[in-house]
Amino acid sequence: MTDGTPKTVGIKQIAAAAGISIGTVDRALHNRPGVNPKTRSRVLKIAEKLGYRPNLAARSLKLNRRLRIVAHLPRQIASFFDPLREGVREAAAAIRGVTVDVTFRTYPHLGDGDLKLLEEDLERDYDGILMTPGNPSQVESAIRRFTERGTAVVCVASDAPRSSRLASVSVDAAISGSIAAELLGTVLHSEGTVATITGDLNTFDHGEKLRGFAATLATMAPHLTLISTIETHDSPKEAYRATLALLKRNPSPAGIYVSTANSIPVLRALEENGMCGRVQLITTDLFAELIPSIESGAILATLYQRPFTQGKLAFETLCRFLVDGVQLEPVTRLAPHIILRSNLPLFLERLPAGLEMG
């Protein structure tokens, strides 16, 4: 029961045990050329026996790697991408033992200026890039050129599945849609109609949500009929008008699923028609203007896409690869949080500044 001298084992100890020099030990451990196979296997065995763990601080001091990472993210929608950037920053601050420079590059919208910005940074020789692919087919060639230059690409918030990206982190869109359908199906007991309001069905994410919604509605809520799928192209005005038009055509839908963050105009249109509380509403993401409607019950639930966590995970995945060569899960599909009235308080803390002070 005496203490087994948990002394630290380094290449020096291995060298001493093998009666050779540390140079040879290093070569053997790393499969470098020019080592007698017998020596190598002997070294490996001793290292194993002694429980050798390389001192990562020493290694990174010597190698003195300096990782240059750039994050290409849109400015809009700020309530989503600001916390995502925050997550990247926090993960970057927590990194030990490697110096990581993170540069943020911002363009107005998905699909608006992103390609040009990518073009510019192609020359800059970054070690890694985080990006949100807008139009997958256009972005694919850009991604390929980065990876061919040796820049690792991680997609965040949306994916470009057929590209050469190293990994992707996003919320599972199809399941987001499924959850919305299940919730409506569970809450609404009698037959009725439901509608969805989305951005642009060409966007992978939006299409997936609708597919998940429709599929689950069919299986888990056959008493509900999907009557309308409105595309609003992220325009508040369009969303407002479309909602009014919807109510004209169908005076009392039982439920509406808004699958983008563009839900405020929908709420307004419903309110003005006295429909709040009479139609079950499922929205997407969380931002200040949404809070009162959740608290009042006007919104049954909002599906929170956890931008902060997405940013953090994407950065960690990228760094883990660049630093250790470890390739984590290539595809991470986060579960969206279902925010109701009761658990809303837990999510307010991470909202952009000012809110928690009120």
Partner DNA sequence: TTGAAAGCGGTACCAA
Partner DNA sequence: TTGGTACCGCTTTCAA
Residue numbers at the binding site for a copy of itself (CB under 8 A): 6, 8, 53, 55-58, 60-61, 64, 66, 94-99, 101, 172, 175, 178-179, 181-183, 186-187, 189, 212, 216, 220, 300, 316, 320, 323, 333-338, 340-343, 345-347
Closest approach, Cβ 97 to DNA, in A, equals 12
Select 262 or 317, whichever has its Cβ closest to a copy of itself.
Answer: 317
Q: Which of residues 243-302 bind DNA (CB under 7 A)?
A: none
For tokens 């003195």, what's the residue?
64
Q: Is the separation of the CB atoms in 43 and 50 below 8 Å?
A: no
**From the CB of 24, what's the least distance to DNA, in Å?**
4
Q: Quick one: CA torsion of 184, 190, 193, 197, rounded to 10 degrees? A: -10
In the complex, least distance from residue 251 CB atom to a copy of itself, rounded to whole angstroms: 22
Radius of gyration for the chain, computed over Cα atoms and rounded to the nearest angstrom:
26
Which does residue 91 touch among a copy of itself, DNA, none (CB within 5 to 8 A, set by kind)? none
The runs of H, that is alpha helices, within the chain are 11-18, 22-29, 37-50, 56-63, 78-94, 114-122, 136-149, 173-187, 204-220, 236-249, 264-272, 291-296, 307-324, 344-348
* 8 binding DNA? (CB under 7 A): yes
**Which one of DNA, a copy of itself, none is in contact with 101 (Cβ closer than 5 to 8 A by kind)?**
a copy of itself
DSSP 273-293: TT-BTTBEEEEES--GGGHHH
Q: Is 39 in the site for DNA (CB under 7 A)?
A: yes
Tell the residue number behind the tokens 């080592």, with chain if given.
Answer: 35
Residues forming beta bridges with residue 74, ordered by sequence position: 107
Separation of alpha carbons 284 and 304, rounded Å: 6
The reply on whether position 29 binds DNA by CB under 7 A is yes
Query: Of the two residues 5 and 8, which places its CB atom closer to DNA in the complex?
Result: 8
Please pick, from the candidates 41, 45, 49, 61, the single residue that binds DNA as defined by CB under 7 A.
61
Cα distances (Å, whole numbers) of residue 352 to 109, 143, 305, 306, 347: 20, 31, 15, 13, 11
**Smallest gap, in angstroms, from Cβ of residue 317 to DNA?**
23
- Smallest separation, CB 8 to DNA (Å): 5
Task: Tell me: does residue 55 bind DNA (CB under 7 A).
Answer: yes
Nearer to DNA (CB atom), residue 11 or residue 351: 11
Q: Which two tokens stand for residue 336?
A: 């969206």
Q: Which of 12, 45, 223, 341 binds DNA (CB under 7 A)?
A: 12
Residue 145 three-state SS: helix
| Binding positions for DNA, rule: CB under 7 A | 8, 10-12, 19-24, 26-27, 29-30, 33-37, 39, 52-55, 58-59, 61-64
